[in-house]
Amino acid sequence: MKKLLVFIGLIAVSMMMMTGCSGEKTIKIGAILPLSGPLASIGKDIQCAIKVGVKHLNANGGIRNKQVVVFFEDSLGLPDKGKEAYIRLVREKGVHVIVGAVSSEVTLSLAPLALKYEVPIISPTSSSPRLTKQGNDYTFRVYPSDTIEARRISDTMFNQLYIRKFVPIAIKNEYGYGISNEIIRIARGTQAMNIPEVIRYSPDSTYEDFLAIAEKVKVLDPEAVLIAGYPEDSAQLLKALYEVKTKAYIFITSSGSREDFLKSTGEAAVGVIYAKAPFNPKATDEKTRSFVGDYVDICGKTPGVYAAHGYDAITIAAKAFSKSNRPDDILRRLQQVKAFKGVSGGITFDRYGDVVQYPKIFRVRSFENGELKYTLLTDEDKAQIKDSVLKVK
């Protein structure tokens, strides 16, 4: 009799594993975001977007008639804190997918854990090229690699505008090194290129530090400056370059080009050329209108690019449960994501868990009544800048 009971128990356990813990009443998803620290503004925007996504999912019946629940953890933007958060979410909360992390350093630190515990991560913003090589079957991202953006920016600067003397200014972290090194690599392969100095700054730099950098740039007298940083420090650099009256054309990578921070610089932003991922909050399709409308209602402001990618990440994460809660089923659904129509654009995961989305290049036109006016970089802009650069030579 005892052996029979043990046998029945083993069958019961096996059935539970095969059905993916079908007794669970909710769809459990984790989120590891920097809700405090230097990247808190980005983390909170994404957190708000995830809440909007959960609202939409549950309003439409959830997944398999189960409500979606998200457990948030604060990484502080630090790899060690991110790893602690991952283990808590898996062991204590029993999540099956995690949205995160935000910074590439933290996401790279989570990749081995994702493989060990077989709980996938979907980053809404990490863009380091190293993720392509150092990730694994359990790492995905809905934000494109810096390699793609670097090619677009390089083509604009070196081929279309004929910039031949520029100074890269990059933050000392995975993001700053990743995108600036790729642009520098392309630049050094361009004929007659002159990079008088590569400037890198600490994440805890002060405005005085940025003023010193701006003074150095003024002495170097480049045709262009490329800023590769986060929104807060990019804005401080922009103000410093404006204060010392730098004459160079200023380019900013997508990570530092959030409109609210550009707006905070006032007149310093006029003329700035920046890359931006393809999200348009003014798009008229129903999905974008619904996301933007509820984001404004819940979060009190218009969503930016990172929020849009956060919304798409949670939607994809939840839909991975469409068949069951079984880990192998969830992983298979993620690997099969193709032509997903997100608010940030079309999303297809390649064999590395990467997406291909090309940023667009914008230029700030004016600052009037506290608002920035900007448009796509035009052919007229390109002709004017190229002519001015060639005349200088």
CATH code, 34? 3.40.50.2300
* Same domain flag for 233 and 337: no
Whether 165 and 295 map to the same domain: the answer is no
pLDDT value, residue 24: 77
* Residues 158 and 133 occupy one common structural domain: no
288 and 198 part of one domain: no
Q: Based on the domain organization, do 140 and 151 belong to the same domain? A: no
Residue 151 and residue 51 share a domain? no
More confident call, 5 vs 134: 134
Residue 371 located in a structural domain: yes
pLDDT tens profile 335-385:
999 999 999 999 999 999 999 888 999 999 999 988 899 999 999 999 999
What tens digit of pLDDT does each residue of 302-336 get? 999 999 999 999 999 999 999 999 999 999 999 99
* pLDDT for the residue numbered 9: 47
More confident residue, 255 or 195: 195
Q: What is the pLDDT of residue 392?
A: 64
Rounded CA separation 177/339 (Å)? 31
Distance in angstroms (rounded) separating the CA atoms of residues 393 and 242? 23
Q: Do 263 and 294 lie in a common domain? A: no
Model-level pTM?
A: 0.86
Averaged pLDDT of the chain: 92
For 121, the domain range is 19-144+281-347
108-144: pLDDT as tens digits: 999 999 999 999 999 999 999 999 989 999 999 999 9
Domains identified in the chain, total number: 2
**255 and 152 in a common domain:** yes
Q: Are residues 57 and 81 in the same domain?
A: yes
216's CB contacts (< 8 A; 6+ apart) are 197, 199
Residue 13: pLDDT above 50?
no
Q: Is residue 73 part of a domain?
A: yes
User: Which helix (H) or strand (E) segment is 290 a member of?
Assistant: helix 286-299
Examine the domain organization and report whether 192 and 296 are in the same domain.
Answer: no
Measure the CA–CA gap between 100 and 121, rounded to whole angstroms. 6
pLDDT for 26-84, tens place per residue?
999 999 999 999 899 999 999 999 999 999 999 999 999 999 999 999 999 999 999 99
Task: Please check whether residues 138 and 165 belong to one and the same domain.
Answer: no
Assign residue 82 a region (left: φ > 0; alpha: ψ between -120 and 50; beta: otherwise).
Answer: alpha
